[in-house]
A and B are shown apart, each in its own frame.
Chain A
Amino acid sequence: MTQVSHSVKPDSGVPAAVRRRRKKLTFDKISFMAVFLGVPLVIYLVFVISPFAQAVYYSLTSWSGFNNKMPFIGLENYVKLFQDNIFMIAVRNSIILAVFLPVITVILSLILATLVTIGGSSRGQIKGLRGAGFYRIISFFPYVIPAVVIGIIWGRIYDPSAGLLNGILTGVGLDGFDSYPWLGDSRTAMVASMVVIVWGFVGFYMILFIAAIKGIPAETYEAARIDGAGRFRTAISITIPLIRDNIQTAYIYMGILALDAFVYMSVLNSGGGPENSTLVISQKLFTTAFNKGQFGLACAMGVVLAGLTLIFSALVFLVNRLTGGSKDVSE
């Protein structure tokens, strides 16, 4: 009697049906799994995972790419890299980018996102600024512009004689900038390049943070306001701790991008800039591989770059954890 009632119960009936279906290996099921999982996985393994693995192996050889001889030389490539002054300059420049770009971009986009979301009236319902939609649409523009085009446009803006920037500067009376080469002077080339990358990404992260801030329940803000917190206090003590995970993600993505930076740097200053002041690892890797044919050495550079990326992500995670990231986060 109990058994009968059991099998009638819908709760236990469904898993039983599922189990029966799983056991039966029909052609339908086998072909489905083979195609649905097999095809994407093969493509992924062949074109993404295997190149990563091969690169690590190539980095231990002095392979030139044009024959099948791959003399195994151990860590010699790495030793060579760390004695190469120009490569070390590239590493330094990449690290500079990874240190400054995420900080500047994240802070700037957080400020703008905060202004848009809680810039409205301090009475009544928590609301954003009027015209927020307009600012949001405009801010996102740079993200949809291809990186190469951003580089080209800014290359023209920085042009010493016909550029927009020097035109504006001389227009307001700063005649010293009449034909100042922003990208051609080693003192400003790096800063000028960073401005371009920040310009390209602030809008994207601003939209991301706006979405995160809107996910915070309005009651939280209302409670803070009743307790007498001003706007600045609210932003520091409510917004930032609550969207901490989003900030961490943004920070890591921006750092990975800064360590790459190939497109921007190679379009703005294809040769690495004055006195190699804007040369980054990715550019050096590209010329070493495809212009000089030193594939083993280039792969070693790739491994160094991947290592830096991992160290960067680990550091961000660690700092976030040490400053109490995981316990503050409440969904």
Chain B
Amino acid sequence: MSLKLSKRTSGTDGLVAHKAKDTPGDKAVAGVSHVMLALWSLMVLVPLAWTVMSSFKTSTEIFASPFSLPEHWSFTNYVSAWSTAGIGSYFLNTVIVVGCALVIVMVLGAMCAYVLARYVFPGSRAIYYLMLAGLTFPIFLAVVPLFFILKNIGLLNTLPGLIIVYVAFALPFTVFFLFSFFKALPNEIAEAAQIDGAGEWRTFFQVMLPMAKPGMASVAIFNFLGLWNQYLIPVAINTTEKNWVLSQGIVAFANNMGYAVNFGSLFAAAVIVVLPVLVAYVFFQRQLQGSVSAGTLK
């Protein structure tokens, strides 16, 4: 009896030792998984790598074969995209518009979310739901009236006009996301600050806002991506060419391509538009993936 028991234990011990090793089934599953994921990664990477490669080719080379390597690795296409096609000035406009809009929307959004999350007053729920509604309606419905609102206040086709519209449309998402964040902050700290004599303003800017930094960072990243990639709003309300943002500029560039063929610099322009965002992503990807989970788990 006791012998049998000990045998059993050794059996489970064997199993424990076995745990580290993979069964053939595991290996097969892992193999198939790797193949499928690798195929998907190739689907993602090949078009991007092809774009980078083509950006160094001349138009003749591009038409000769989609696979051939460029004969000379020179940045001619980049120079012509940056200066001749005006990508440089569009880049500057985009940086100004996205930079300003991002700062403003983060400050306003944090303030609004803070008040909604931490003060109870008549209508606070209604305002919150109004914000939520703005998140679900298609921007398309608003585009035409928006055009005339800006026209009437004289901000149509100007960078400040674009900035304020960006702020307005990024606001619901920002408030919605930061709302839960401020709600979760401990009340005692705000109270301690007020007992120490800080007013409402100081409590917010010196105590509460710094505590919300992780949430602010995640929202800022998503807002940056959303605003940097925005196309519909500028194409509707920012039609003066010198105020164009990158997305407008590159589409116009691509559409002109049909006549004056310089596909090499079109690819170069694409790389110029993608590169800053991609680099920022690789740097911040840990933060970003953390925030995706924060957003889904609420």
Contacts and interface: CB of A to CB of B under 8 A. Distances in A.
Contacts of B66: 162-164, 166-167
Contact of A263 (B130, B167, B232): B232
A14 to B, nearest CB: 7
A131 B34 contact: yes
Given A139-B41, A152-B254, A285-B140, A123 B26 contact: yes
Contacts of A236: none
Interface string B58-77: 00001101110000000000
Given A138-B41, A139-B41, A144 B137 contact: no
A179 to B, nearest CB: 12
Contacts of B112: 36-37, 40-41
- Main secondary structure on chain A at its contact with chain B? helix
Given A115-B37, A256-B138, A138 B44 contact: yes
B240 interface: no
B74 to A, nearest CB: 20
B64 to A, nearest CB: 8
Contact of B273 (A21, A54, A134, A146): A146
Contact of B171 (A17, A43, A161, A260): A43
B137 A124 contact: no
B296 A263 contact: no
Contacts of B171: 40, 43-44, 48
B278 interface: yes
B191 A14 contact: yes
B143 interface: yes
Interface in A245-268: 246, 249, 256, 259-260, 262-263, 267
Interface in B180-202: 191, 194, 199-201
B22 A115 contact: no
Contacts of B89: none
B41 A47 contact: no
A178 B50 CA distance: 19
Contact of A44 (B20, B22, B168): B168
B29 A231 contact: yes
Contact of B201 (A32, A48, A55, A286): A32
A306 B282 contact: no
Contacts of B288: 140
Contact of A161 (B63, B140, B148): B63
B37 A116 contact: yes
The 8 closest A-B pairs by CB, nearest first: A211-B293, A47-B168, A167-B66, A51-B142, A119-B33, A32-B200, A54-B145, A302-B141
Given A48-B172, A135-B41, 10 more contacts: A40-B112, A48-B168, A51-B142, A52-B145, A123-B22, A141-B278, A143-B225, A148-B250, A270-B255, A306-B140
